[in-house]
Structures are given as C-alpha cells and as structure tokens.
C-alpha cells in the first residue's frame, strides 16, 4: 500500500442509526486494510460494553488533561459527556496507507472533513424513518426514556446536515448497507490513487 494514500472513512448518523454496527461488522471481517479508531468518552459504561472495545472510558479530569495536551483530532461535549478521537493511532494508520474507520456524530464528522479534505470520506447513514430510529433506540435497552427523548431531539438538526456529507446511504438492511459502504470506500480509494 502507498504510505501517502491512507483514507479516513467517517460514518455518521443520528444515535441509533447503525454507524457502530456497520463498522463493527466490517472490522469483524479481519480485513487488514481497515483500522478502527475507538473513541474516548467520559460517559458511564453501558451494560454489555467493554472498555477498549466499544469505547475508551476515562474520567473528566483525564479527558480534559488530554484536551490541554492536544491529544485529540476532534472532541465534543454531548449530553453532559465528552467524546473524542485520539490522534496518535489515526495518524500512524493513515501513514501506513490504511483505511481508518471512524464512528462520529455529525458535528465531529464535519470538523474532520475540514481538517483532512480529500483524505476523508464522509458517509451519512440515514435511518429509514424516525419511528424505526426510535424503535432501535428503545430495543437496545441501554437508556432511559428521558435519554432517548434527548437523543431524538437532535435528529432533525443532524438530518439537516446530511447534504454536507460525501455520500448518504439509507440504512434499512445491514448487509446491503455494508456492501454500499465498501463500494464507496473502493471508489474513493481508486479515484484518490488517480489524483496527482
């Protein structure tokens, strides 16, 4: 692989839109071209989550020290908790020519697009409907009705930003969505290798 042709692939969607599931399925395939950047957060760990697999869980003080030290590519405070993308491993993987998969909220995705330009591919996973999105959030049974309502309040604002992404995919069928994501990655890599 060409060292200078790493690609940052950022999947974003409203909460419950499927971005994490799509990335996890792709990573399970053990494709050595993919590297998955695990986000860091200060929120409490949910039942079934594993530190270092789902997120890197840290306290507020440690997270704020890392902000101060410039160790994040991007970070944001969402619903009383910090979320951020550690810098070191991403830059290393890009330098190795890997496709780095990121699972970010809409604003974090757009910030990284500004920083990385053509080396980033932004994919917005659109839920088939708000009702299906609500059902997905309720079925994962990890949040209170109040927390779900807060997440759903953000949906309209997040959906309004979808047109700023490179690609919009309606996430109705998981396997079909994964095939579409892979196709977009392949096309982006093919065209980026043709650029001078």
DSSP string, 51-65: BTTTBEE--HHHHHH
Q: In terms of residues, how long is the chain?
A: 196
What is the reported pTM? 0.82
Which pLDDT score is estimated for 27?
87
Please give the sequence-ordered ranges of beta strands (E in DSSP) within the chain, or none if there are none.
Answer: 7-12, 34-36, 40-41, 56-57, 72-78, 81-86, 99-103, 120-126, 167-170
Rounded Cα gap, residues 185 and 67, in angstroms:
30
Q: Are 194 and 149 in contact (CB under 8 A)?
A: no
In the predicted model, residues of the chain with pLDDT beneath 50 are 1-3, 196
Tens-digit pLDDT profile for residues 150-181: 777 778 888 889 999 999 999 999 999 999 99
Does domain 3-194 correspond to CATH entry 3.40.50.300? yes
Which pLDDT score is estimated for 195?
58
């Amino acid at each position: 692989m060409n060292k200078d042709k790493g690609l940052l692939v950022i999947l974003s969607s409203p909460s419950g839109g499927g971005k994490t599931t799509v990335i996890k399925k792709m990573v399970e395939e053990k494709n050595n071209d993919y590297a998955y950047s695990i986000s860091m957060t200060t929120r409490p760990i949910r039942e079934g989550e594993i530190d270092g697999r789902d997120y890197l869980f840290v306290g507020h003080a440690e997270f704020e020290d890392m902000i101060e030290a410039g160790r994040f590519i991007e970070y944001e405070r969402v619903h009383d908790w910090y979320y951020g993308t550690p810098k070191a491993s991403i830059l290393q993987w890009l330098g190795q020519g890997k496709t780095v998969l990121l699972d970010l909220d809409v604003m974090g995705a757009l910030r990284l697009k500004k920083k990385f330009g053509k080396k980033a591919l932004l994919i917005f996973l659109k839920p088939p409907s708000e009702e299906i999105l609500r059902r997905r959030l309720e079925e994962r049974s990890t949040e209170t009705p109040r927390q779900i309502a807060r997440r759903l309040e953000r949906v309209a604002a997040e959906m309004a930003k979808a047109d700023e992404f490179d690609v919009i995919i309606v996430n109705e069928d998981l396997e079909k969505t994964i095939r579409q994501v892979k196709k977009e990655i392949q096309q982006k890599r093919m065209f980026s290798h043709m650029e001078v």
